[in-house]
Amino acid sequence: MNFWIRDSLSKRGHNPAVFWILIVVLMLLSAGAVQILGSKENLSSNILTPTPEATKQPRLYTVSYKGGVFSPTNLRIHAGDTVRFKNESFFGIRIVSDPHPTHNQIPGLDSVGDVPQGSYFSYTFSEKGIFGYHNENRPEEAGTIIVR
């Protein structure tokens, strides 16, 4: 039977050595794949196991006040983030929640007195929503915090 296989392959113009070389190369590639992917860190079952969601660290944002303007005027943050209002003007400012009907009033957002030049007032936003604020001394100087 060996003679028949060898004879039929040689009649077709195929060299049996090429067949065996191909098998050896495939075996070497398979062994390499097992070696590389066979470690525990690379197993797909390890990747698919449910892991607890990473908790997002709260961030600190700064809103500067200078020349009658809050910068940035509109700020997008996440619930739990803190906004630090920095007074860079010559005069004190009092930062309070905007009672305008298109915005939610922020409970507790009140610097309780003027924030002097070079000082900060910080507030942590715990709820989602769109919140307006303004300088109590000049209500036209205002801004918005969008909490996602």
Enter the CATH code of domain 60-147.
2.60.40.420
The whole model's pTM is what? 0.59
Q: Report the percent of the chain where pLDDT is more than 90.
A: 47
* CA distance linking residue 98 with residue 145, whole number of Å: 11
pLDDT tens string 26-42: 888 888 777 777 665 55
Residue 8 has pLDDT above 50, yes or no: yes
Nearest-10 Cα torsion for 37, 42, 44, 45: 120
Residue 45 has pLDDT above 60, yes or no: no
Minimal CA–CA distance to 103: which of 85, 124, 125, 129? Answer: 129
CA distances from 19 to 1, 27, 55 (A): 18, 13, 56
